A and B are shown apart, each in its own frame.
Chain A
Amino acid sequence: MVANNKSDRTAILNAIRQHEVSDVELPDLNADWIEYDSPLEQFVQSLESVGGRVVRLESLDQLGQELEKLDSFATAKVRCSLVAGQGSPTFELNQVDDPHDLEDIDFALLSAELGVAENGAVWMTDDGVRHRAVFFIAQHLGVLLSASQIVSNLHQAYQRLESSTAFGLFMSGPSKTADIEQSLVIGAHGARSLTLFLLP
């Protein structure tokens, strides 16, 4: 689509180009960024410090019974899952046309590609996910991550990302706010809780 305001475009670009701005080289980002002895342990610590919970699994078979132990899962009326064969879904995300239909999802089981030790964030994309609203609208989240996919820092994370999906996000713990007198409250607009299931 072509934008309609051509003259503003030219005006802005000309206004910028008329200034000589001294050149500074673009740095290469090859510094000694932090590496943890155990990225896994650091990841767990970081995620817990931002309000997430971590459950370690020995294999995928355990997931079902660990999910059942979660109150948020056990009491969920509407469940949705992006992990094939898991999470006993009552709602098929990719079957609905309108994202507003996701409004009542109580629990969503998601799967992450990558975890970042320094900040407890996981990387997820809308690859095969018809409605990205699921990341934000579900009351509670479970996220599946394989421990082998944990890197120390964000630089390493970006090296591994492919930018081919329309949407991707780093999510670090459940949603939160401290806008009322700096008191931390978990559960602002997004998930009220985030439980990370860690596969070996």
Chain B
Amino acid sequence: MHAIEHAKEAKEFIESRGRATWHDSALWFVRAKRDKAAQSLPEWEILRETASQIKQHTASRLADYLEKFEANATRLGATVHWAATADEHNRIVMEILQKHGAKKVVKSKSMLTEECHLNPDLEAAGIEVVDTDLGERIVQLRQEPPSHIVLPAIHIKKAEVGEVFHQHLGTDAGADDPDYLTEAARQHLREKFCAADAGITGVNFAVAETGEFVVCTNEGNADLGTSLPPVHIACMGIEKLIPRQKDLGVFLRLLARSATGQPITTYSSHFRGPRSGCELHIILVDNGRSSILGREDFRRSLNCIRCGACMNTCPVYRRSGGHSYGTTVPGPIGSILAPARDPGQHHSLPFACSLCGSCTDVCPVKIDLHHQLLTMRGEVKKAGHLPALKRWGMWAMGIVLRRNWLYGFLGSVGRKLLPLIPRPLIYNRMNMWGRQRELPQTPAKSFRQLYRERYGRK
């Protein structure tokens, strides 16, 4: 696969000005709801700190906790599988489904199965997979990936949902009322739930001391999808573990408030073993996580509880759309996880960031996101993935910024020369900063001159 250039991918999205602005304000609305929810709890900061400590503690003895979880989940009657890679994960899912002759599968939102590209594998084997979260179903019918980890269809307008539903579900042409469309999806997916041979879910939290795991949804799709068919497959990254049941109190209080500003999701289902006469399979997936654990600078990115708050607040994400990242998890956290796994392909992502630090401020588990993004830029350079233009630019900037006199000299030359240079020399392909904007008017005097005039030599 060729490397993904975030700026290039974002271009189309930005070109439709109206859409970018609409997307921006839709996400800002969610961010504002998050703020209100966070401010309703005086202990918010203590909660964040506690969550961060629990996650870091778990990471410090993850192998022990995984073994404990396995033992307890097995005791409850679940079958625990281990998958080092995405391929192995998909193979295990396939094997379980084939053993049961399952032809129809309902899946609730799981970023992990997206990450493993499970659907194409199952479809190739003749198994129908239906994503049952409304947003996920919309993007599935449009044959595109989710653009957000909590709001998969945030980039799509209701008229477009109407169109795709008209095509696939037979809703009235031109209908775009959310109530009407949701009702149509409810009917359509009820049929799928009732016809399913197996249900696949993700996992929000798994508890080592009890062997239970928790899945959070608002729609009830994970729950309906696992309470009818005889087989439930739960797929989880190994970082989803927490030590104690009471730790759930901390995380469930943070998750929905950070994600959508709700005090808790409608359903927080605690699964402790299979339904009687049925099977429960839990797949523990590594797929690069253990190697991130070994990198001190990026380890805490594994704390992530996938709330999406860092995306909702990110000025770059809001204006460029989730698809521009070309990864399952977009936004600030995705811009760390993806290049940590494959720097060659994802090296442009840590640069899709203004280092404003807003992500770090909202993250419920206190991941130092913008610090990690900065560090990742260094890693990208060290690995030799910086494009030539950026490399030369940085090199030249380095020379200038290290020499006080040169900086002052070039500044004064620039102030005099810039207004005289013909436009094509400034606004050309080499100068990315001049693409969609005008350079500011050059001031007559530099800051240093003004400062000196006002406060004397010092």
Q: Is A111 an interface residue (CB 8 A)?
A: no
Residue of B nearest to A164 (CB): B272
CA distance A56 to B60 in the complex (A): 49
Chain A residues touching B, majority SS: loop
Pick from B154, B183, B224, B238: contact of A190, CB below 8 A. Answer: B224
Within 8 A of B (CB), among A121-178: 121, 131-133, 135-137, 153-155, 157-159, 161, 163, 165-178
Q: Is A34 an interface residue (CB 8 A)?
A: yes
Pick from A24, A135, A170, A183: contact of B252, CB below 8 A. Answer: A170
The interface centre, meaning the residue of A24, A46, A155 with most chain B CB atoms within 10 A of its CB, is: A24
Q: How many A-B residue pairs have CB under 8 A?
A: 254
Pick from A5, A163, A180, A191: contact of B178, CB below 8 A. Answer: A180
Residues on the B chain within 8 Å of A29, using CB: 50, 246-247, 249-250
Asked whether A189 lies within 8 Å of B193 as measured between CB atoms, the reply is: yes
> Known contacts A34-B42, A182-B29; is A190 also within 8 Å of B267 by CB?
yes
Residue of A nearest to B62 (CB): A16
Asked whether A31 lies within 8 Å of B273 as measured between CB atoms, the reply is: no
CA distance A105 to B164 in the complex (A): 30
Asked whether A158 lies within 8 Å of B245 as measured between CB atoms, the reply is: yes
> Known contacts A159-B246, A170-B268, A185-B178; is A135 also within 8 Å of B223 by CB?
yes
Which of B75-83, B320-328, B354-362, B398-406 lies on the face that meets chain A?
B75-83
Asked whether A189 lies within 8 Å of B189 as measured between CB atoms, the reply is: yes
| Min distance, Cβ A90 to any Cβ of chain B, angstroms | 20
Residues on the B chain within 8 Å of A106, using CB: none
Asked whether B272 lies within 8 Å of A180 as measured between CB atoms, the reply is: no
Residue of A nearest to B286 (CB): A12
Residues on the A chain within 8 Å of B269, using CB: 167-169
| Min distance, Cβ B145 to any Cβ of chain A, angstroms | 15
Q: Is A100 an interface residue (CB 8 A)?
A: yes
CA distance A171 to B268 in the complex (A): 7
Asked whether A153 lies within 8 Å of B245 as measured between CB atoms, the reply is: no
Give chain B's interface residues, CB within 8 Å of chain A: 26, 29-30, 41-43, 46, 50, 53-54, 56-57, 59-63, 66-67, 74, 76, 79-84, 88, 92, 95, 132-135, 138, 151-154, 157-158, 161, 178-179, 181-183, 186, 189-190, 193-194, 210, 212, 218-221, 223-224, 227-228, 238, 243-250, 252-253, 260, 262-276, 284, 286, 290-291, 293-294, 299
25 A-B pairs in the complex with CB atoms less than 8 angstroms apart:
A5-B92, A9-B82, A11-B286, A19-B290, A21-B59, A21-B60, A23-B57, A27-B50, A29-B246, A34-B41, A103-B194, A121-B268, A154-B253, A163-B272, A166-B274, A166-B275, A169-B223, A169-B268, A169-B269, A172-B262, A178-B218, A181-B158, A188-B186, A189-B186, A190-B223
Give chain A's interface residues, CB within 8 Å of chain B: 1, 3-5, 8-9, 11-13, 15-19, 21-27, 29, 31-34, 46, 49-50, 99-100, 103, 116, 118-121, 131-133, 135-137, 153-155, 157-159, 161, 163, 165-183, 185, 187-191
